[in-house]
Amino acid sequence: MTMKFGVIGTGALGMDHMRRIQQTLNGGEVVAVTDINPEAAKQAVADLGLNAKVFPDDRTLLAEGNVDAIVITSWGPAHKASVLAGIEAGKYVFCEKPLATTAEDCLRIVEAEMKHGKRLVQVGFMRRYDSGYIKLKEAIENKFIGEPLMIRAAHRNPEVGDSYLTNMAITDTLIHEIDVLHWLVNDDYKAVQVVYPKKTKYASDHLHDPQIITLKTESGIIITAEVFVNCKYGYDIQCEVIGEEGIVTLPEVQSVTFRKDAKYGVNLLMDWKQRFIEAYDVELQDFIDSIQKTGEPGGPTSWDGYIAAVTADACVKAQESGGWEPVTLKEKPDFYRTNQ
Ligand SMILES: NC(=O)c1ccc[n+]([C@@H]2O[C@H](COP(=O)([O-])OP(=O)(O)OC[C@H]3O[C@@H](n4cnc5c(N)ncnc54)[C@H](O)[C@@H]3O)[C@@H](O)[C@H]2O)c1
Ligand SMILES: O[C@H]1[C@H](O)[C@@H](O)[C@H](O)[C@@H](O)[C@H]1O
């Protein structure tokens, strides 16, 4: 049976997800859209040639749109209200990161979902679906490098707009590493620290860039993650896990090498949309398939969204204090124990 989707927020990622549901994936169809900018929503429907109705807001879309599921690709601060409205209406919810902007709000979502009695929500932490990270996880679980001791990660964007603030290096950018790295080593975070290296001249006055975030896990693994969002040269995601008996590294994006004009080289990507394009396809296909097979989404849960929010809050506190800040999680409810 085809899953009918309503999309809330028709900006860059909303457009990309609508295109993949409509043109690339199996078993889904976009039938309803909304955006606080109604012209953008109408334009999106026209540009993608969708047979979808435009609604004035998320609540009307949920009430009248005849949808089975919603995709939330609005701005982060708007996510919580749409997720809660989706749960209240008993719809499946695919919510882009962040699930909500505070740990408190993520807990409200967790509580609403548990009260509903069945898992409805998947968070768009697509790196768990990236073949490179999956191979890293397999190598770690097979003990190929012995016990993991340290991780070195880097998250670099070529540039960011003027509205990007210092805390967004955590809540908007590092949030991907926060989710994928503890999943990779199957461990929880214990404490975090942030230090600022010399600032690039390309960062705005209100942005510390780059930043080095250190995360210590319960078992003692130390992760150093660099966020550098005006690195200029490309979109570059790096991850190296150092174990007792060896090192495993995230594969580079496949690309031909060239010899031209007295140069030997490889082109790098400049855009995040291309870097994880297959992972986005696989995560949304898994959302559709798991619901059709089991009645529940199979990917990252609201609880994973909560873990990311608690850790991000601690990192933002560490940006301000300059010292180590604890990461204190509530006990994981049994309700969330059955996911990947
Ligand atoms: N998983 C990833 O790698 C990834 C990549 C990019 C963006 N994101 C996330 O996806 C979301 C969207 O990002 P984007 O880059 O597409 O941003 P964007 O600014 O291009 O689009 C957001 C759209 O949401 C609309 N909007 C805002 N508030 C709304 C509301 N209350 N109701 C309806 N529409 C609303 C805006 O008008 C805009 O059209 C963000 O949460 C972002 O963090 C995730
Ligand atoms: O919203 C985007 C997106 O999540 C990208 O994957 C990340 O590299 C950017 O830093 C962030 O601003």
What would the two tokens of residue 16 be? 């990309």
- Same domain membership, residue 265 and residue 213: yes
Determine the Cα–Cα distance for residues 310 and 22; give it in Å rounded to an integer: 35
Looking at residue 171, its pLDDT comes to 94
Q: Which residues line ligand 2 (CB under 6 A)?
A: 157, 172-173, 176, 229, 272
- Same domain membership, residue 166 and residue 37: no
Residue 254 pLDDT grade (very low, low, confident, very high; cuts 50, 70, 90) = confident
Domain count, the chain: 2
| CATH assignment of the domain containing 79 | 3.40.50.720
Look up tokens 């908007």; give the residue.
Answer: 172
The answer to whether residue 312 sits within a structural domain is no
Residue of 98, 235, 244 whose CA lies nearest to 154: 235
Residue pLDDT, tens place only, 209-248:
999 999 999 999 999 999 999 999 999 999 999 999 999 9
Q: Give residue 247 CA to ligand 1 midpoint distance, Å.
A: 36
Q: Give residue 331 CA to ligand 2 midpoint distance, Å.
A: 29
- Same domain membership, residue 137 and residue 248: yes
Q: Give residue 108 CA to ligand 1 midpoint distance, Å.
A: 21
Residue pLDDT, tens place only, 50-86:
999 999 999 999 999 999 999 999 999 999 999 999 9
Q: Give residue 8 CA to ligand 1 midpoint distance, Å.
A: 9
Give, for 291, the enclosing helix (H) or strand (E): helix 277-294
What are the residue ranges of helices labelled H in 167-269? 168, 175-184
ipTM above 0.90, yes or no: yes
The answer to whether residue 177 sits within a structural domain is yes
Q: Which ligand is nearest to the CA of 78?
A: 1
- Same domain membership, residue 251 and residue 137: yes
Buried b (16+ CB within 10 A) or exposed e, 325-337: bebeeeeeeebbe
- Same domain membership, residue 257 and residue 136: yes
Cis peptide leading into residue 251 (ω within 30°): no
Region 37-51 average pLDDT: 97
Provide the domain limits for residue 291: 3-127+278-307+331-336
Determine the Cα–Cα distance for residues 32 and 54; give it in Å rounded to an integer: 6
Give, for 86, the enclosing helix (H) or strand (E): helix 76-88
Buried b (16+ CB within 10 A) or exposed e, 200-230: eeebeeebbbbbebbbbbeeebebebbbbbb
Cα–chain-centroid distance for residue 119? Answer: 19
Residue of 239, 18, 269, 28 whose CA lies nearest to 128: 239
Q: Whole-prediction pTM value?
A: 0.96
Identify which of 160, 272, 276, 283 to mutate to test ligand 2's pocket (most ligand atoms within 8 A of the CB).
Answer: 272
Question: Which ligand 1 atom minimizes the distance to the CA of 280?
Answer: 1
